[in-house]
A and B are shown apart, each in its own frame.
Chain A
Amino acid sequence: MTTRIKNSSGKAVGPGLSLGSTASVPALLAKILGLGAVLGAAVSLTPLLIAGGEWAMLIGLWLGAAGLLAVYSTSRLVPLKYLLPGTLLLTVFVLLPILSTVQLSFTNSGDGTRGSKEDAVSTIVRNSVTQLPESRTFNLTVGTEGSAADGPFTFFLVETPSNGVFAGDGQGLRPLAGEDVTVDGGYVRAADGYQILTGKEVNAAGAKISGLTVPTDKGAIRAQGINRAFEGVQTLTYDAGTDSITDSVSGKVFTVQQFGDREYFADANGSKGFDQSWEKNVGFANYVRLFTDPQVRDALLGSFVWTLVFAVGSVATTFVVGLLLASALNDPRIRGLKLYRAVIIVPYAIPVFISFIVWQSFYNKDFGLINSMLGGAKIDWLGDPFLAKVAVLLTNLWVGFPYMFLIATGALQALPQDIAEAAKIDGASSWTTFTKVQFPLLLVAVAPLLVSSFAFNFNNFNVIQLVTGGGPFPASGGQIGATDILISGAYRIAFGGAGAEFGFASAISVVLFIVTAVLAGIQFRYTKALEDVR
């Protein structure tokens, strides 16, 4: 290791020093520290990833680290020095989440299917251990003839309330006479030939101790915590050979059966035995459901149209209001110009979350500000699908126009004055000057910002969630409300009412991603065409 570092530093310092001014001492130190941190991070994460069996992640991590080391430790590969950070960031923060989402969209992941089949089986079997009404409870101390960490363990039990003293292990339960052990305060405190474990030691060996069952004629004694034991029966057993669970009380046999896109253990009559299912690959089922389930499809189509209307409407209204104000305030003859501008930017200075919540209360039918300003009108802003859409757009206009005002002001002031003067000399009215000369030039400057504003509003989850919560919802009980845009609709399916459906929500997100990508492509083409104005 040491030699390798020496060698490589010998190689690298040479050209570095020869470049003289570019390799100052602080820069050199920073680079050593930086690359050291890279290597250190990679080394420290390796055991974590190995323990988790994340092999792909491990390979990716080391490829990334090796790439960084290779690129920055030599003086070759200069272009890569500029490209690599961006590429890595793109991979980690954009490509990986997209890939995970795509991967998830082919599964039935959600509430009830969060674990593997083994997890589900072990939970089902473990949960079947129940206390019978007549079963005994004990004060427990754990002793060992071996080590406190590995056992073998023996349970010393004092029955409550009868105070009978027993020792128990895998072989069974045997009563103890008073002279073998010391009993104090209802617990066995010492036993000949045994080391008594402290509470901490019992906890540390918890996995082994909870696996120890002391068979009795009624069932088995199991530890509960560090100092109690109870007699209970495990009614269910899993047979890996037949892949079935048997109930020893009712004699029922539960086999794996398909329900919708999930598998459950169910009895011979086809009714589910347990709530637990497990994650499974379901192929294109989520996509098929998205495009064929009439309720989902119609709701999503409706919200797709509304998403477009909302995004276009938000951009258009804020831009028009912002531009009008900017043009009006672009005349240096106005007195108190700065004051007006400051006042207009106020909504922008208030955190949007607060604005949204305040506006939401304005729309209350009986107690809201808006209806009371309209002379006690009873307009059901949030209860009517159309009015709720208007309410969302109005709120978004309020929080959005100062931004448009700022960029329009900036763009207007950046336009050369001589163009306006030339138009004036040519005899154009000020309206013609604005529409035919200034506005097209302005559009060239702000078009990319309008596109990004559109993309932002296309996925503007906050305003929907905080102003209407997606509502009003159909009385028939659909999950997607009248003001839900695609992203908030996907959220409601993933985390909303009917339990989390991560797989299905991922499928919606993937479709949403494709739609957004196509729309962005069209917009950029259009923006390029605008540039020909110049």
Chain B
Amino acid sequence: MRTALTRPLVRKARLSLTTAAAVSLMLLASGCSGGQAPAGGASGAASESAAAAPSGEAPARGDADLVIWANGPVVQALQPIADKFGDENGITVEVQTVATELQTNFVTANASGNGPDIVMGAHDWIGNLVQNGAIDPVQITAEQKADLLPVATDAVTYNGQTYGMPASVESLVLIRNKALAPEAPASFEELLTAGNAAVAAGTAERALNLQVGPKGDAYFMQPLYSSAGGYLFGKKADGSFDTADLGVGKEGSIAAAQKIAELGEKGSKVLSSSVSADNSIALFNQGKTAFMVNGPWALGDVKKAGIDYGLSAVPGFAGMQPAQPFTGVQSFYVASKGKNKSFAETFVQTAASQKETQRALYEAVRIPPAIASLVEEVAQTDPDTKIAADAAAAGIPMPSLPQMAAVWAPLGQAEAAIAGGADPAATMEQAGQTIAGALK
């Protein structure tokens, strides 16, 4: 038997919350009786009080045979697919929205045995989900692999095992306001020339929106970082990341730091901490910005704002390497402690990987599907999605290592500081030391 000290935190928290709720219920109940009365057992109250006990901080698992947790507009698109699967198997399926902290809530709920059977999320969760034992491998057949974009299969492969069924791929693209910048630039320098020309002509206020924010954003800086030769982790012979070979603080990252400094407050002022996730799209939609680096998810708003936009891959610096944004792959995972694992495995294996499913998801969110042939079909009517899919296919799958948790914040902070005028080489080297220290 486990001792009190080794019990998992979440389970303890959940049970104590349940108990706390029940005890407070008792107190409330006993508090309202004023006079003297006999003790009595009302067994009918038992079931009611059990139902009244809340399930803790994580959202409660829905009341269905098979429960899927997801977030955002995919939820509406998933429900019909889930219903169809339920009809075929004679079960009920519920798709639940978990609006915030889906990953954390899932890990916590799963550990306490109260989580969903399936969860949908970005592939870079895999490392953390695996280290917490929250998901089981998903076997992708050779035929399915042949249909999927290679970048999608790579993304869900972690330490030689596949852990998720890819549903869509996304990466940063360059969105331009055609009224201010008619041509897609071939290099970052061309982008600056065209953007600055629009600013000089007075038609634009900003050449480029690339969100930095006060804390920095290593995801958005990645195209520039990679073009200048920066990398996060080296790769072993088998293709997996080598956490002993940290690229932050090495030559390429310092070249990237110098490029970022040139674009920052003490240089051409293209990068600014005042452009953040909160305002980047809104500023672009006012029609006063020539270019914006953002994901295909921003296009909905851009269209709604009536901007005549054009789409292209984020260009690299002239004479340097091509810009490689991070590719994220939305995937389905099988919960390790789900109540209906067999159905969950079948759903993820079959329903989730079908073309019709991915088409429905694409129609809901307009993010490129992970099936190559479907991308081509969609491209007939929606060339934007083809451009976005190609950009994602050319990107680097976001490393899903749990060690990335130690990389994002320090790297972002260093890049924001460099854009703000800090010494590029010293700051980047210091960030490398901080990350290396945290990885020990």
Give the interface segment out of A121-129, A165-173, A308-316, A323-331: A121-129
Q: Is the CB of A474 within 8 A of B41?
A: no
Q: Is the CB of B345 within 8 A of A225?
A: yes
Give the interface segment out of B71-79, B295-303, B362-370, B432-440: B432-440
Q: Is the CB of A367 within 8 A of B413?
A: no
Q: How far is the CA of A276 from the CA of B127 in the complex (A)?
A: 10
Partner of A68, one of B30, B128, B414, B438: B30
Which of B11, B47, B244, B274: most chain A Cβ within 10 A?
A: B274
Q: Is the CB of A112 within 8 A of B50?
A: no
Q: Is the CB of A12 within 8 A of B342?
A: no
B-facing mask of A253-287, CB < 8 A → 1, else 0? 00000011000000000010011110111000000
Contacts of A334 in B (CB 8 A): none
> From A9, which residue of chain B is reached at the shortest CB distance?
B38
Q: Is the CB of B274 within 8 A of A43?
A: no
Q: How far is the CA of A509 from the CA of B403 in the complex (A)?
A: 25
Does B237 make an interface contact (CB < 8 A)?
no
Q: Is the CB of B417 within 8 A of A475?
A: yes
Q: Is the CB of A9 within 8 A of B39?
A: yes
Q: Is the CB of B39 within 8 A of A27?
A: no
> Number of residues in B with C-beta < 8 Å to the partner?
109
Q: Is the CB of A48 within 8 A of B431?
A: no
Q: How far is the CA of A27 from the CA of B41 in the complex (A)?
A: 17
Contacts of A89 in B (CB 8 A): 24, 27
Does B201 make an interface contact (CB < 8 A)?
no
Q: Is the CB of A111 within 8 A of B214?
A: no
Contacts of B15 in A (CB 8 A): 48-49, 52, 54, 57
Q: Is the CB of A106 within 8 A of B5?
A: yes
Does A145 make an interface contact (CB < 8 A)?
no
Which of B16, B29, B53: most chain A Cβ within 10 A?
A: B29
Q: How far is the CA of A53 from the CA of B49 in the complex (A)?
A: 21
Q: Is the CB of A210 within 8 A of B341?
A: yes
Give the interface segment out of A32-40, A176-184, A438-446: A32-40
A-facing mask of B7-18, CB < 8 A → 1, else 0? 011111101101
Q: How far is the CA of A476 from the CA of B2 in the complex (A)?
A: 41
Minimum distance in angstroms from B102 CB to a CB of chain A? 14
Q: How far is the CA of A106 from the CA of B4 in the complex (A)?
A: 12
Q: Is the CB of B20 within 8 A of A92?
A: yes
Q: How far is the CA of A181 from the CA of B211 in the complex (A)?
A: 63
Contacts of B99 in A (CB 8 A): none
Does A202 make an interface contact (CB < 8 A)?
yes
Contacts of B42 in A (CB 8 A): 32-33, 36-37, 39-40
Q: Is the CB of A129 within 8 A of B137?
A: yes
Give the interface segment out of A419-427, A449-457, A497-505: A497-505
Does A107 make an interface contact (CB < 8 A)?
yes
8 A Cβ contacts from B405-440 to A: 405-406, 408-411, 413-414, 416-418, 420, 422, 427, 430-431, 433-435, 438, 440
Minimum distance in angstroms from B244 CB to a CB of chain A? 8
Contacts of A271 in B (CB 8 A): 244
Q: Is the CB of A40 within 8 A of B43?
A: yes
Q: Is the CB of B37 within 8 A of A479?
A: no
Give the interface segment out of A15-23, A149-157, A396-404, A523-531: A15-23
Q: How far is the CA of A372 from the CA of B50 in the complex (A)?
A: 57
Does A215 make an interface contact (CB < 8 A)?
no
Which of B10, B49, B111, B283: most chain A Cβ within 10 A?
A: B49
Does A220 make an interface contact (CB < 8 A)?
no
- Sort chain A's interface into a size bin: 35 or more
Does A73 make an interface contact (CB < 8 A)?
yes
> From A492, which residue of chain B is reached at the shortest CB distance?
B409
Minimum distance in angstroms from B46 CB to a CB of chain A? 4
Contacts of A199 in B (CB 8 A): 89-91, 342-343, 346
Q: Is the CB of B40 within 8 A of A5?
A: yes
Q: Is the CB of B36 within 8 A of A12?
A: yes
Does B34 make an interface contact (CB < 8 A)?
yes
Partner of A228, one of B160, B349, B427: B349
Minimum distance in angstroms from A80 CB to a CB of chain B? 12
Q: How far is the CA of A244 from the CA of B51 in the complex (A)?
A: 45
Does A164 make an interface contact (CB < 8 A)?
no
Q: Is the CB of A115 within 8 A of B413?
A: no
Q: How far is the CA of A100 from the CA of B427 in the complex (A)?
A: 40
Q: Is the CB of B214 within 8 A of A471?
A: yes
Given A30-B34, A130-B160: A44 touches B128 (CB 8 Å cut-off) = no
Q: How far is the CA of A292 from the CA of B42 in the complex (A)?
A: 57
> From A45, which residue of chain B is reached at the shortest CB distance?
B22
Q: How far is the CA of A280 from the CA of B32 in the complex (A)?
A: 44
Q: Is the CB of A34 within 8 A of B342?
A: no
Q: Is the CB of A281 within 8 A of B5?
A: yes
Minimum distance in angstroms from B179 CB to a CB of chain A? 21
Partner of B214, one of A72, A198, A274, A382: A382
Q: How far is the CA of A48 from the CA of B283 in the complex (A)?
A: 54
Minimum distance in angstroms from B152 CB to a CB of chain A? 17
Minimum distance in angstroms from B382 CB to a CB of chain A? 33
Q: Is the CB of B346 within 8 A of A475?
A: no
Q: Is the CB of A279 within 8 A of B4?
A: no
Partner of B50, one of A35, A44, A104, A228: A44
8 A Cβ contacts from B303-344 to A: 336, 340-344
Q: Is the CB of B417 within 8 A of A226?
A: no
Q: Is the CB of B29 within 8 A of A15?
A: no
Q: Is the CB of A36 within 8 A of B139?
A: no
Does B83 make an interface contact (CB < 8 A)?
no
Q: Is the CB of B342 within 8 A of A116?
A: no
Partner of B133, one of A100, A137, A276, A475: A276
Minimum distance in angstroms from B137 CB to a CB of chain A? 6
Given A96-B20, A472-B214, A498-B406: A116 touches B38 (CB 8 Å cut-off) = no
Q: How far is the CA of A92 from the CA of B434 in the complex (A)?
A: 41
Q: Is the CB of A41 within 8 A of B139?
A: no
A-facing mask of B270-285, CB < 8 A → 1, else 0? 0011110011000100
Which of B89, B214, B283: most chain A Cβ within 10 A?
A: B214
Q: How far is the CA of A35 from the CA of B49 in the complex (A)?
A: 12
Partner of A364, one of B1, B29, B274, B342: B274
Does A430 make an interface contact (CB < 8 A)?
no
Contacts of B32 in A (CB 8 A): 30, 34
Contacts of A100 in B (CB 8 A): 12-13, 16
Q: Is the CB of B45 within 8 A of A41?
A: yes
8 A Cβ contacts from A58-102 to B: 60-61, 64-65, 68-69, 72-75, 85, 88-89, 92-93, 96-97, 100
Partner of B131, one of A16, A203, A276, A478: A276
Q: Is the CB of B413 within 8 A of A226?
A: no
Q: How far is the CA of A16 from the CA of B37 in the complex (A)?
A: 7
Q: Is the CB of B11 within 8 A of A52?
A: yes
Does A24 make an interface contact (CB < 8 A)?
yes
Q: Is the CB of B16 within 8 A of A471?
A: no
Minimum distance in angstroms from A181 CB to a CB of chain B? 21
Contacts of B343 in A (CB 8 A): 199, 203, 225-226
Q: How far is the CA of A259 from the CA of B403 in the complex (A)?
A: 14
Does B186 make an interface contact (CB < 8 A)?
no
Q: Is the CB of A114 within 8 A of B90?
A: no
Does B154 make an interface contact (CB < 8 A)?
no
Q: Is the CB of B45 within 8 A of A37?
A: yes
A-B CB contact pairs (8 Å), 17 listed: A29-B37, A32-B33, A44-B49, A48-B18, A104-B9, A114-B111, A131-B139, A203-B340, A206-B341, A209-B342, A210-B341, A210-B342, A225-B350, A279-B8, A365-B274, A477-B411, A478-B434
Task: Given contact pairs A111-B402, A228-B345, enumerate 16 new A-B contacts (beta carbons under 8 Å).
Answer: A30-B34, A39-B45, A40-B48, A45-B50, A68-B27, A92-B20, A111-B132, A115-B132, A116-B6, A206-B342, A224-B345, A224-B349, A226-B345, A279-B8, A365-B274, A477-B413
Interface residues of B (CB under 8 A from A): 1-2, 4-6, 8-13, 15-16, 18-20, 22-27, 29-50, 53, 89-91, 104, 107, 111, 127-128, 130-133, 136-137, 139, 141-142, 159-161, 214-215, 244, 272-275, 278-279, 283, 336, 340-350, 402, 405-406, 408-411, 413-414, 416-418, 420, 422, 427, 430-431, 433-435, 438, 440
